[in-house]
Amino acid sequence: MSLIPHIINPLYVLSGFLVGGLVGQTGVGGGSLMTPLLVLLFGVHPATAVGTDLLYASVTKTAGTLVHGLNKSVDWAVTGRLALGSVPATALTLVVIARLDFLDKTSAGVLAVILGCALILTALALILRPRIMRYAVDRLRGFNERETVLLTVATGAALGVLVSITSVGAGALGVTALILLYPRLPTATIVGSDIAHAVPLTLIAGVGHWLLGSVNGTMLLSLLMGSLPGVVLGSYLSTRVSDAFLRGVLATVLVVVGTRLVF
């Protein structure tokens, strides 16, 4: 008898497909939707949901990076600056997580609140992104090169801490920060650079969680079986659905889910 039916969970596959489709259309939603979905709908421990989602995100965003790389819409200098801050911050955060034992029952409530706050912050970034873009173009003349480099490294460090704890923030928050720091870069390049940076960030954080025992391998396999075709389909449909509509729907869902986790 095949072991596949016992390993693959159709509900996880469907969840991966739906979230993957949203990621393909908006570039946002991997951690923002998958982690709370696992926590609230499937009753997964927050730490396990975060760890599993991080490796899920690293695989799906690798495909996105390849596409953006072929389209030459990645500024590797910006990606490197972000990684210079995020990699050590991620490693340090994982050490703290290991010492605090985030897999116990007490930590579950704390993690849920932190995750909820991160979701609400992400929703605000999505809602306000058009205004932030206008502000950046109309008023910001850009920082000098040294200030830009330092602020980019600091942004990477902040994302490293937040993503390692919640798996949320690499998309919407990262893109919003880059818009402010690099107002003259094309939006496609900003998105591509952020996605490229998310690959090593989520991979390192995900491997760290795996070593800590907070990754469910069979769940990860099921999610990826759904997400990979979902990302492809979502990318294909991205030019056929209003970005403003999708952003509004996603932000509304994040606020509702974030509030549910906090309260």
Are residues 29 and 23 in contact, defined by beta-carbon separation less than 8 angstroms?
yes
The closest of 165, 191, 188 to 177, measured between CA atoms, is 191
Query: So what's the pLDDT on residue 192?
Result: 83
- The pLDDT value recorded for residue 154 is 96
Q: Check residue 103 and give its pLDDT.
A: 61
Nearest to 255 by CA among 36, 57, 21, 46: 36
Per-residue pLDDT of the chain (263 residues; tens, 9 = 90+): 444 455 788 999 999 898 888 776 666 666 778 888 898 889 898 889 999 989 988 887 787 777 777 778 889 999 999 999 999 999 999 998 888 776 666 667 777 888 888 888 888 887 887 787 777 666 655 578 888 999 999 999 999 998 998 888 777 788 888 888 888 888 778 888 888 898 899 999 999 999 988 899 999 999 999 988 887 787 666 656 666 777 777 778 778 878 877 77
User: Which phi-psi region, left, alpha or beta, contains residue 204 (left: φ > 0; alpha: ψ -120 to 50)?
Assistant: alpha
Distance of alpha carbon 205 from alpha carbon 186, whole angstroms = 29
> Nearest 5°: CA angle at 168, between 210 and 143?
120
pLDDT for position 155: 95
Q: Is 143 left (phi over 0), alpha (psi -120 to 50) or beta?
A: beta
What ranges do the domains of the chain cover? 10-262
pTM of structure: 0.81
Judge contact between 123 and 258, C-beta under 8 A. Answer: yes
Which residue's structure tokens are 């596959």? 13
